[in-house]
Amino acid sequence: MNERIKLLAELARKKQMGDSWCYTNPQEFEQKFAELIAQECIDICMQGKQTQTTSEGAATLIKLHFDM
């Protein structure tokens, strides 16, 4: 698994509870992890839109971003 995916998984596992952190349950993890990956892809596509990248170009950018 690439480093960015590992970081997103770690972010999805934890949630802040006041001044401390706790681990999410499996359903919360799945939801948050999917949201984080989707947001990364959206951000990449929006950056591509600014440079008038095609959908194929955006797909390439996403693959490169996630080392696929």
- Please write the tens of the pLDDT for every residue from 29-59: 899 999 999 999 988 888 866 666 677 888 8
Helix and strand counts by DSSP (H, E) for the chain: 3, 2
Average pLDDT, the chain: 82
This prediction's pTM: 0.72
CA atoms in the 13 A half-sphere facing the CB of 34: 6
pLDDT bucket at 18, cuts 50 / 70 / 90: low
Q: How many domains does the chain have?
A: 1
Flag whether pLDDT at 17 surpasses 70.
no
C-beta separation of 33 from 12 below 8 A? yes
Residue 1 pLDDT? 59
Residue 36 pLDDT? 93
What is the extent of the structural domain holding 27?
3-65
